[in-house]
Every structure is written in structure tokens, then in C-alpha cells.
Structure 1
Amino acid sequence: MKIFISTGEVSGDLQGALLVAALKRHAVAAGFELEITALGGRRMAEAGATILGDTVGIGSMGIIESVPYIWPTIKVQQKAKQYLKKFRPDVVVLIDYLTPNLGIGSYIRRCLPGLPVLWYIAPQEWVWSISPRNTDLIVSIADRILAIFPEEACYYQKKGAQVSWVGHPLVDRMQSAPCREVARQTLGIGPEQVSIALIPASRRQELKYLMPVMFEAAQILQAKLPQVHFWIPLSQSVFRSKIETAIADYGLRATLLENQSLEILAAADFAIAKSGTVNLELALLDVPQVVAYRVSLITAIIARHVLKFSIPFMSPPNLVQMKPIVPELLQDDATVENIVFHALELLQNADRRQEILAGYRQMRESLGDVGVCDRAAAEIIKNVKLNTAS
């Protein structure tokens, strides 16, 4: 069986790796040969996929921010189309990654009719769709959507898609996370240390627009709380020098580590995090957090005043329940003062911390049971068999 998977960015590589591992388990159990080729990154390669193109660094959030990635996106789409035409797989699995995967999916529908396409983790049009065009395209491309959020499943079903809700793959990932005590021991964190996880960037633009305000807030917290130490998981190796320079410039007591993100998150007393998958990881580890996000001023003005762009929430924990479980500070609200205020509140106010933890417990009920990736893998294999039989 030949499977082609297309995804991008740090989070896509993580979700893709979990899926590749599950598909490999199913192949071994059923006794069939499995060949997986993918657009992805290091994690997917380590899980057993052959990487056609590295897409971890090709991604952005915003209008102006996307410009540098137009040509890299076109190139990776061309490479995928050439591969699909020459080595037609049994099924294509698209994971999130809206713009590149719309291009690849549209090509399949035009030029490779009959090739099954499943969209695992559909783009969040159900949260921030500006027009129905992208939603209609997703529905027309995907033979089946494997949804990870209940709201996502409902949205795409109402739009006419065939949908299976499988649950959120981070439920599976957290099974391998260390407990707080083990994580702190692994990192050498003493009982007196207040450990704050700083998660400034998984995209290059976030180093420019988000890291400075986050590090300035950390600088103030460090002055107020002498027992604080900051721990920063490195999402991409190419970010190391810029983050190390910023740590020195702001005089932070901070440790930057690569390939130890789960240990850092599990050991934390609190986190200041960019919006993204990491928010859900922190929630599943019961770590209180404040979420911040900023884009360029031009993007913000266009989104707000021209596109009339508005979203109920941005971080996954709040999206799961559609209510404010964790504080979100977006654009103009993502100030040093606001980050410091919420950080001190969540570090020093036991009642407020308990409110967050209670929200996390309620949120977990909407994420599905363990075995998410195996359920997704089973759906993919089932669709291949059905297509072959017909």
C-alpha cells in the first residue's frame, strides 16, 4: 500500500509523525507492506516516512507575512504534483496546511480523478472563514474529513462533507509525556525554582513580532520574582542564534533546549506561549498559561478594517469549549503590561489557577479517548480498501 501525506510547519510535522507511526503499526498487525512518502519534516522521517520535501519552515500567519513563502509553496506544490503523477499512490492524506494543500488537492481532483483524498485535521475555516470559497474547496476535495474537534466535525458535516470525528492526536502524544516530578528531575530543577516555559516562536515571523514583547515581560517577571528561571523549547534549529541573542540582550535567566519540549512543558509551573498546538499540550499537562499573538501592523489593519476579520478565540483550549479557559492576548492586547499582569495572577492567585485547571478538565472530555491516531489510521486504510473493492 502506498500512501502520500502532505503537511507543513512544526505542528504538521508532529501530527504527521504520530499518524505515520500509527499507520506503520496497522501495517505490521495486518501483515501488508506500507510505503509512505510525504511533505513534512524530521519527525515524520524518524517515524518512517520518506520525505519528498521539507515543509517545516514553510508557513506563516497573516497577509504580509505570507509573501516570502509564495515561491517556496509553489515549488513544493510542483514537486508533489510531479510525484503524484509519476508514482500514483493508493491514497492521499492532507494534514491541515490550508494553502499548499488546497493547491495539491485541486490538482488531484482535476488530473487524477478517482484517487482517494482524506483531509486529517481540516483547516480551521470553522473558526475564521472569511468567505465560503475555501470551505467549498475543502469539501469538494476531500472524500472524507477526519476531524479532531467536535465543532470542526459539525461545521464540515453541515457543509456537506463526509466526516469522521476521531479525537485529538495530542491525547495520544501526552501518554508519553513525563510526570512533573520526573521532568523536573530530568532538567535538574530544584524545588525552590519557579519554572516558567517561554514558547515564543514556531514560525520565523514570531521571532520578529512576538518574541520581543514576550521577553520584555519575562525580564520584568524576573525582577519581581528572584526564584524564576525560564525554559525555552527550540522548535527549529535555525532559530537558535536569534533566541540566544535575545536571551542575552534581555538578561534572562533562561535555558534553551532542543528536542526536550515535553520535559520543559511538564516541568513548568506556568507558561507564556504563542497561540498554537503547544497551548493544548500545556492544557493536557495541567500547566496554567497566558497565550499571546501578534502579526504585522499592516496585516492587522487589513484584517480588521478591510476584511472585517473577527474570531471568537484563537488558542485550541478555548476553541474546544468555545469559552475563555485561558487568557488570550491578541495584537493590541498583547502588551508587556498585560502579559505580566496575567502571569503574576496565575502564579500567585491559587483560586485563579484552580479556575484554569477546572476548565482544562472540562476541555479534556471533548478531545476523545486514547487511540486517536490508530482510529485515524484505520479510517485511512478502510477507505483504501473500499476504493480498491469498487
Structure 2
Amino acid sequence: MIRLLRPLTRAVTYTRWLHLLVGGLVVLAAATVHGVEDATARDWVVITLLPVPLTAAVALVPAMRRAEGLQARLMLFPGAHAREAHSVEKGSEGADGAVGEGPGISVAPSASWRDRGRTAVWLVVRLELGWGLGVASVQLIGYALALLGTTSEAPDDDGLFLPRPGQGAWNALLVPLPLAVLGVLVVAAGGLAAAAARSLLGPSPTERLAALEERTEQLLERNRIARELHDSIGHALTVAVVQAGAARAAADADFTDRALEAIEETGRDALEDLERVLRVLREDAGPARRRPTLAAADRLLESARTGGAEVDAEVSGPVDELPGPVSREGYRMLQEALTNVLRHAGPVPVRVRVAVSGGALTLDVRNALPRQAAPTGRGGSGLRGIRERAVLLGGRASTGPEDGEWRVHAELPLR
């Protein structure tokens, strides 16, 4: 019994009732214009169908779909999601009638004749369903009041369709019956209206595709930001750990000063990268710091040298004239390669070759493998990030042991 009465305790039941009654007022206006005095069954059919052509014509206005979508969100699916203009995901209805991820109602104007047609069908459904529910509400509430009236007075002809019993105090026991029927009708009509709204006001295939593309762009941007933080912060922490360990082992004041200076410089660069990423996440309108490029490769090489690695570097070609995306991604790939050397191999000889020729940028980083190191297959997320960056630019990259050395090799086309 409590389960049956539960829908009547939800606010959404009554907001849906009100939404439908407002739609039914259009038919009531038509009835007022046509006249209802001594109206026959045929007249009532005409009154019911009279507003349909005008209602369908109104749906041709593109903004009408947006207006109906907003109303449906606020009245049929009340909740925090109702005010989110870009929520088109279809969520599941909870215990209070609200929807988790969104009601699946679009608030975009009609973009095609199919959208206009669906909006027209929705308006007609809302109009007729609201009119039917309005008539039922008046009749059932009036019948309940009439039953109360017949406890002391004889029934009068007050326009009710339902026959009433004769005068008697026992009629008061029948009052809950029409109210219960009304409650069932209100819940059923509200559920039907919600289902119709999802079907007719839901996002079109074009809108779903646009939402999917937007979601894909967001995921790609998050993946890019994750790689940026991994490379920048990971490099800074690796240099700091290596420098601190080397300074403690050396127990030399001059070496300690150089190590602290290297830690300070690397940490400052990492903070700049972190600030730039946070500006992107906050969608800050202020100017963001420029991402480092291969023109600053000397800074990476010097950082690796201060970490104890013996770096033999050779840079050839117009590195300063590289296209922005190629230069920036090349910097991150070189940074990750050197970070892996410091993190996994320690102070070992490293050979770095950066060459721009033949319409491509070539990066080659080789380092001796420590004796205790074993081949690690495809590597971790950092090495995977190198390969992903190369693929996104139309190039290729390979990482792994080769001839007793660990090699990171990448080729990026300049176009």
C-alpha cells in the first residue's frame, strides 16, 4: 500500500500535473471561443481538435523546441540538471523522480524539418493529454465534492458526467474513491508525458554526434594535459631526487650548491608548466605561458648533466625554425627520454642526436643499460606517451633495448 502511495509524495508528480494542465488550457480557450452551452459529443470532438493545426504550425518556429525543452526539464524532470543547457545524456530516473545524468531533453532550437515535426507531435500530445487530464481532474474532484454534498442535501445537476448515488450520509465513505482514481491518472499521465518528452524532445542524431565529438575532444585534452604533467613534474622530481642523493653522497659544499641550484631551476620550470596547465583547466582568460620548445633543449641537456649523466649531444639543422607543434612535442619527448635515463639507469653515458633534415625531425637518445637492468618490453606510461605524441603528429617512435643500449628513436614530419 505504501509503495502504491509513494508516487503521490513526490514533488515531480505535481509539477508534471501542472505542466500538462497548462497545455490543456489551449483547448479550454478554444472551447470558450466555440461555445460549450448545449454542446453535443460532436461539438466536443471539434473543440478538442480545433487547436491542433495552429499548435502544429507554432512548432515550425525553431525557438519553440528550445522553449518546450526548457519547460520539460523544469517541470517533467526537476532537479539540478534542469538548468544545464548542454546536458543531453539520458539518465535514469531516481526515487524522487529526478534524473541522474540528465533527462535526455535537448534545449537546442530546431535545426531540421525532422526536429520541427517531432516538436509538433510533442505539442499536440501535451495539448490533448493535458486537456484529457484537466477534464478528468475537474470531474473527479467535483464528484468527490458532490458526494460530500449529498450527505445532507439532494444532488443537483452540476455538469458532472458520472452518476451519483442518492442522498445519504454513507456517501462520505465513497469520497476517497474518485480521489484515488485521480491520483492514478495523474501519475500515469505524468509518466506518459515524460516518456513522450524523451522520445520527441530528445537530441537528434546530429546533436548526439556533436555531443560525442565534444566528449571525445574533452578526453583527448585531458589525456594531453596528463602527459604534460607527467613529463614536466616527473622530470622535475626525478632531477631533484637524483641531485639530492648525489649531493648527500658527495658531501662536498660546492657540489651541493650546484645541486641545489639545479633543483631550484628545474622546480621553477615545473611550476611554470603547472601554472600553464592550471590556467587551461580553469579556462583562465589571462595569457598563458608558452610551452617550451626544442630551442630550449640545452636546458634539458644541462639538467641531465647536473644529474650525473655524461651527455654527448649533437644538434643539427634549423631547430629554431621548426613548426610550433613539432618543436613543443619534440621537447617533451626529449625530456621524457632523459628523465628515464636518470630515473632507471642513473649516471651513465648518454648520446643525444637531434637533427632536422629531409622534411623531418629526428630524435635519437641512447644510453648504456646498467648491469642489473633487464629488458622492460614496451615500458611505462612515459614511453607510451612518446609513441602517442609521435603518432598524433603523423610520425613514429620506438623505444626499447638495442645492441646493449636503451634507445629512444622518433621521427616527426615537419608538415
Same-fold call, TM > 0.5?
no
Judging by fraction of residues, say which structure has more helix. Answer: 2
- Structure having the larger proportion of residues in strand: 1
Which structure's relative contact order is higher, taking Cα pairs within 8 Å and 6+ residues apart?
Answer: 1
